């Protein structure tokens, strides 16, 4: 049951990465750039206009532009999902067959400490600006086909878009390393948690743009909430009590349905 809880945590970590302050606000412009269909340049001459009221502005995006954005989003998600899946297979095939039960317990101790430390890092970054430095790619190589560009950038994204998501992604890798037998499933769950919101945003780009603007106003609480969650998860892993999460009614029902 602890493995199922770990998979759920990994999926929520993926969602947390999507909602992080350094990712969520830039997603509309980011997807527009990848698909070469910025909102300002979107045409409305195909007879199928979609508009959204947001911040007293109407966003017009043609059907062709919306389809282009969604397809590019798919390739982007496939890019980073491929990297996480390969890493999951490597952890599964290498660590799971080469370590014993006793050593795996030590990995749980180490992993719990690291994950809790990531949580502390997120919380302290609210006060210590040096811990909250962003590093974005300023030059994105473009290919003749935007789909290839999106896929390649998805590969690069998996390596770390900014240090902002480092603690969350690092916690997921640590959890996978502490449970190498389930590493592939854990990283796949993270990919789904991160990828599905991207796909929804790409599919409903106009509506999502307005919603993201509203959510961005509340992201000042993100580091505190996510950091606290990571500390709790780290402590539970250290004491091998991760199964206690299943006692939470909603989590228990969700994990039970998966099993």
Each residue of 182-214: pLDDT tens digit? 889 999 999 999 999 999 998 888 888 888 888
Whether the per-residue pLDDT at 31 is higher than 50: the answer is yes
Residue 147: per-residue pLDDT: 83
Q: What residues does 82 pair with on adjacent strands?
A: none
Residue showing tokens 């390739």: 75
Each residue of 44-94: pLDDT tens digit? 444 443 444 444 444 556 777 788 889 889 999 999 999 888 888 888 887
pLDDT tier at 135, thresholds 50, 70, 90: very low
d(CA 34, CA 237): 39
Residue 197: per-residue pLDDT: 94
Residue 54: per-residue pLDDT: 42
pLDDT tier at 42, thresholds 50, 70, 90: very low
pLDDT, greater one: 44 or 102 = 102
45-83 residues labelled b (16+ CB within 10 A) or e (exposed): eeeeebebebeeeebebbeebbebbbebbbbbbbbbbeb
Residue 111: per-residue pLDDT: 85
């Amino acid at each position: 049951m602890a493995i199922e809880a770990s998979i759920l945590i990994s999926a929520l970590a993926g969602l947390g990465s999507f909602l992080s302050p350094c990712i969520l606000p830039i997603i509309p412009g980011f997807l527009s750039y990848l698909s070469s269909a910025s909102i300002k340049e979107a045409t409305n001459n195909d007879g199928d206009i979609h508009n959204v009221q947001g911040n007293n502005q109407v966003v017009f995006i043609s059907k062709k532009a919306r389809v282009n954005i969604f397809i590019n989003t798919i390739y982007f998600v496939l890019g980073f999902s491929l990297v996480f899946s390969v890493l999951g297979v490597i952890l599964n095939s290498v660590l799971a067959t080469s370590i014993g039960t006793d050593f795996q317990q030590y990995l749980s101790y180490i992993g719990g400490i690291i994950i809790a430390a990531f949580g502390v890092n997120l919380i302290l970054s609210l006060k210590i600006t040096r811990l909250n430095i962003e590093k974005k790619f300023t030059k994105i190589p473009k290919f003749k086909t935007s789909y290839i560009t999106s896929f390649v950038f998805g590969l690069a994204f998996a390596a770390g878009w900014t240090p902002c998501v480092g603690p969350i992604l690092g916690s997921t890798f640590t959890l996978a390393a502490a449970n190498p037998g389930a590493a592939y499933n854990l990283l796949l769950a993270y990919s789904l948690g991160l990828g599905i919101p991207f796909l929804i945003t790409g599919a409903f780009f106009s509506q999502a743009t307005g919603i993201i603007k509203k959510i961005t106003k509340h992201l000042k609480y993100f580091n505190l909430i996510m950091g606290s969650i990571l500390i709790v998860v780290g402590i539970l892993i250290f004491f091998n009590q991760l199964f206690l999460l299943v006692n939470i009614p909603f989590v228990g029902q969700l994990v039970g349905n998966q099993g």
